[in-house]
Structure 1
Amino acid sequence: MLVETANRIAHLNEKKKKKNSLDEDSFFPSAISEHHLSWAASSSTYYRSPAHSLADTWPLIYANPKTSPTTTCFLKMAYIRLPTDDYVDDESLIQKEVQAVFQKPKKKPMWKALLCLIGYLVFVSLTATLYWFLSEKDEKQNVIFMVTDGMGPASLSLARSFKQYRDNLGIDDVLALDTLLIGSSRTRSNDSLVTDSAAGATAFSCALKTYNGAIGVDSDKNPCGTILEALKLNGWLTGLVVTTRITDATPAAFSAHADYRFQEDLIAQHQLGEYPLGRMVDLMIGGGRCHFLPRSESGGCRNDNRNLILEAQDKGWSYAGDREAFDELQEGKNVTLPLLSLLAPTDIPYDLDRDPKEHPSLAEQVRVALTALSKATRKSKKGFFLLIEGSRIDHAGHHNDPAAQVREVLAYDEAMKEVMKFVNNTSTKTTVISTSDHETGGLSTARQITESYPDYLWYPEVLLNSSHSGEYLVKKVMSKLAELSHDRTLLQSFIAKEIIEKDMGIKDYTEEEVSAVEELSKNANKLLGFLNNMISVRSQTGWSTSGHSAVDVNIYAFSNSEKITQKLLQKEPYTGLLGNHENIEIGAFMSEITGADLARVTKLIRDTKHSPKSVHELEASSDDLHMHAVQKAH
């Protein structure tokens, strides 16, 4: 039918040309761009040819010598409605069809035109936004989330001033972290103005408020889906790097679900895949062999007889349990995933006490993780999620130990430099967010030590002279008690010369202080407090508590993606992280930029075992278990 009509139009044009009564181009306008022709041809609703497909019909028309180019273009553009009856040589009928197509529309009022223009612009804007929204989440990316457990703003001031003094630097020399500051976070939990690490970490992992002590569960003790789990289910690789036990609150809140943080035996099982989702973690580096081994084995503290390390190896995990095995990983180039690396019975020693021959630094652990995960995802369309925690900043705050804390903050800053170097050298879109779950110790970089008006001073050199943490010194004193308890003179000499002068770097000590150390050596906690206070008083470092505080904590962030950077620097709640925000907004932001569906994961894990087995387990003391492990290890 379409071919016949083309012939008819060509025939009529020939007749008109002979009569010079109608120019072909006036009958069939030719000022039509090829772009409009192709667009019209693809979108027209007038084409009706039950006998021919489009592909079949157009070659016939092009091949017809009677069909002029203008006529062909016209038919291609308009697909005018063709009569479906037999051939009718009716010029008026065809001309009516043609004129109907090319008849100029009536002019619309200007306000209607403006409305159309505005509508068009809105449509284009929404379409572009939707395209960005979908394409950004589908694009390969990495997210590195870093936590300075227990570090408040004063900790940064303390560490910065200490470093400037130690290295003889100018006042304009700052930490790597200082260059990334974009905001601050409010830290309260669901049941207290002062949060703990468990509720704080769950705010990040599940993007919701919960009670103190909760590990990956909401305020009603229902398991909540975490960002790590959601991304793993989306095809990402995942990792945890910490300096405390891998089963401690922060790493646990991303990789396990438990009503109480001390359920570390259960947390270890979840981390290895013993729950409804199976294995969700590809790499774990930290301390904490304790909860992977039975009490019957050295360094073990599990309440059952299971050896989770052997079980993990049987399931395909590679294992590195000491410095030698860690070095064999070749900075991540020789890693077979999944990797479990437990480098200490409990917590890895403070950086101030750490023997490099025995334990790697946090920066070394981070380098292994980044290299291994980036290598494993190199050919993948998905990236990786990595949690990094400077865990023991918090412990130094609990111990009111300024000498240990400044070294922990600086060790974390070195780890941040490793991350920054990685991001600057990768072509994969990568976002880094660093914050604290809370502040610990109520630290201040000044202290009034007399009743008179205080001096505006504090002394970083006192911290520099201290070569070990209070924790280390307590163990050293107590290990000598049995040997020297029969001779008080020898014991006091050891305390004065070895502990106070050599290890603590204090020369102006008193006999009363030596006697107090001797007396308190029978009580580890009291001795710890006394030794650390000797340092704090002399450096004029202030503490208000051995627990947590409600101080707002800093948010640091950057990305090698311009679009993500623009989002990071939005102020509005739940859109960016510039300025002051609730801690749950950080978790929500990570979910937003990655497309992680936390609600979906929550439905999948509703049957997860997360409650204590018994009242006995509920009342069990995690500290007792850890002390048992430490005593067996030493």
Structure 2
Amino acid sequence: MTPKRFLSTLCLTVLTLVVMAQPKAKYVFYFIGDGMGVNQVNAAETFLAACEGRIGMKPLCFTQFPYLGLVSTYSASSGVTDSAAAGTALASGVKTKNAAVGVLPDLTTPVNSVAWHAQQHGAAVGIATSVSVNHATPAVFYAHVPERHAYHEIGRQLPLSGFDFFAGSDILKPQPKEGGKDLYQQAADKGYKIVRGYDEFLQQANRQKKLILLQPLRDSKQNDYAIPYKLDRKPENLSLEQITQAGIRFLSERQKERNGFFLMIEGGMIDMACHSNDGAGFIHELIDMDSCVQIAYEFYKKKPDSTLIVVTADHETGGLSLGRGKYALHLEKLLHQKMSFFAYPRHLAALRREKGSAFSWDVVRQDLKENFGFWEGLELTEAQTERLHKAYEQLVDDSSENKKSLYNSVDPVSYTASQIMDEHSLIGWQSNGHSNGFVGVYAIGVGAEQFAGQIDNTEIPLKIMRAAGWE
């Protein structure tokens, strides 16, 4: 062997040994805050500081991670993406057209997700969300369809993935159009145990190989699309924290006979609240997701040499601005809001049914005072009061039409109340849809240094796979 060839061989051997010696991420947490642009994160931290009576910011758990990047989100068909295309980029590292799930822009060729690669390398896999398990973002990790609203087909593909753990509000469109087994039975036939609520999970988890955790049936009858908002949640409701704890517990047991785990957790209702331009709603959802990141961070502190946590978003929703022209911001006033603008129209409708002909302006005024602090904690102008009174008159007029966003229908009183909350807090919204605003990526653990700087959303799953050795 010539000296030159010997030196080349030696360098290659040393490089190979160095690569082999680098630690790998055995445990991977992948958090996706749906609709969580950088201004949404800013708002949550500003709100937390305002709650302490000061101007400034109180850091969330994930914003204190050592590596931070800015992420572009455009899709193959538009500068403004939807969740399906953005999710496909975050899951599989490819751009596709809006509405497409797990396929190339030809809408036919399937692409494999980071979850699939984790499974192929022997890791246990979990897909969890605060919305339905066959909604766009969770779907991109296991399904391949040209249209995100093909809920039944997506749900049919869920158990075919063979992933170990799923969790969310429910399974949308479970009944087949032409008879046959529903999606619950199809999952059961593939070895999945379906449990409802965290208590039932605790009873069943140790005896199961594959599991789907859903909210209690009574809650799904009210809304199968998502678990209750943090603002509306009762102790008996399934929470995203419980879903996170369940995922870690179940996968930790499964990985003993496998090779680590991959757990994706979506804070899906940040997006829903932003679609409704609900300031308090999205802030509480974002803080709620951060509490789940904190749970993962506690796991990381026990295994820092083998864990990676990545937190990002699929897109920004609402075109949120923090300020409305005045050099001021009063997010502390959102503390007066006791109910989301998803729940309040239903609450108001129930109140109207209860009161019947006694459903007067005084009744509505008192209810607004109790749920939003109007005329008490928040002083309203005469013009604002008049707008609410006019909205009440429109509400009792059966010919009035509700305002609609992507996930919600809002009566005139609820719509006007949300506008007034924005006026007091000085939050501004550009639309009820998505924007092309940057989102952040925040990382800690093995391979986290890859996520610093400005990157595209397609790079994130590739970097995760590189950190874990799942390429």
TM-score normalised per structure 2 = 0.87
> 278, 281, 284: which one pairs with 2:163?
281
Report the equivalent of 1:164: 49
Alpha carbons of 1:125 and 1:225: their partners in 2 closer, same or farther (altered >3 Å)? same
CA contact (8 A) 1:208 1:218 kept: yes
**3-state SS in 1 of match to 2:309:** strand
The DSSP-based 3-state class of the residue aligned with 1:413 is helix
For 1:394, give the aligned amino acid: D
1:362 aligned onto 2:240: yes
Which residue of structure 2 aligns with residue 477 of structure 1? 348
Hey, what does 2:361 align to over in structure 1?
A: 492
1:427-476 Cα distance to aligned partner (Å, 9 max, x none): 7612111111100001111113xxxxxx2111122211101011110111
Distance 1:183 1:350 in 2: 29
**TM-aligned CA distance change 1:495 to 1:460, over 3 Å:** same
Residue type matched to 1:542 in 2?
Answer: G
State yes or no: 1:144 paired with 2:29: yes
Letter in 1 for 2:261: F
SS of the aligned residue for 1:255 comes to coil
Residue number among 346, 351, 357 corresponding to 2:230 in the alignment: 351
User: Is 210-219 or 508-517 further displaced after alignment?
Assistant: 508-517
Structure 2: distance between partners of 1:423 and 1:170: 32
Question: Measured at CA, do residues 322 and 311 of structure 1 come closer, stay the same or move farther in structure 2, by a change above 3 Å?
Answer: same
Partner of 2:126: 239
Could you report, residue by residue, the CA deviation over 1:458-511 in whole angstroms, capped at 9, with x for unpaired residues? 112221110101111011112333444534xx332222111x111112223414
In structure 1, give the amino acid aligned to 2:242: E
State the shift of 1:170 in Å. 8.0
Deviations 1:259-305, CA, capped at 9 Å, x for gaps: 010001111110111xxxxx3311011112333356xxxxxxx7755
CA contact (8 A) 1:517 1:530 kept: no
- After TM superposition, the structure 1 = structure 2 runs for residues 401-480 of structure 1, keeping only pairs within 5 Å, are 401-426=278-303, 429-448=306-325, 455-480=326-351
Residue of structure 2 in register with 1:312 after alignment: 187
Query: Cα distance 1:471–1:595, how it changes in 2: closer, same or farther (>3 A)?
Result: same
Q: Which residue number in structure 1 is paired with residue 212 of structure 2?
A: 340
- After TM superposition, the structure 1 stretch with the greater mean CA deviation from structure 2, 306-315 or 282-291, is 306-315
Distance 1:291 1:226 in 2: 24
Higher relative contact order (CA 8 A, sep 6+): 2
Query: Partner of 1:501 in structure 2?
Result: 369
> Match for residue 407 of structure 2?
none
Supply the distance in 2 between the matched residues of 1:363 and 1:170 (Cα, whole angstroms): 29
3-state DSSP class of the match of 1:377? helix
Aligned to 1:547: 433
Aligned match of 1:255: 142
Matched residues in 1 for 2:72 and 2:57: separation?
28
Matched, 1:579 2:453: yes
Equivalences for residues 58-457 of structure 1 within 5 A: 116=3, 123-134=9-20, 141-168=26-53, 171=56, 173-180=58-65, 181-221=67-107, 222-273=109-160, 279-293=161-175, 304=179, 306-328=181-203, 334=206, 336-343=208-215, 344=220, 345-359=224-238, 361-380=239-258, 382-426=259-303, 429-448=306-325, 455-457=326-328
Q: What percentage of residue pairs aligned between the two structures are identical?
A: 27
Deviation at 1:168, TM superposition (A): 4.8
| RMSD, aligned CA | 2.5
Which of the pair has more CA radius of gyration? 1
1:406 deviation in Å?
A: 0.8
Structure 1 stretches of 4+ with a deviation exceeding 6 A read none
Q: Residue 589 of structure 1 corresponds to which residue in structure 2?
A: 463
The 5 A counterparts of 1:603-614 are none
Query: Does the 8 A contact of 1:204 with 1:586 survive in 2?
Result: yes
Partner of 1:65: none
Q: Is the 8 A contact 1:227 1:587 kept in 2?
A: yes
The CA distance in 2 between the partners of 1:309 and 1:323, in whole Å, is: 18
Deviation at 1:219, TM superposition (A): 0.2
Q: TM-score, normalised by structure 1?
A: 0.66
- Give 3-state SS (helix, strand or coil) of 2:129's partner: strand
The Cα offsets for residues 234-255 of structure 1, whole Å up to 9 and x where unpaired, read as 2221101100111111100011
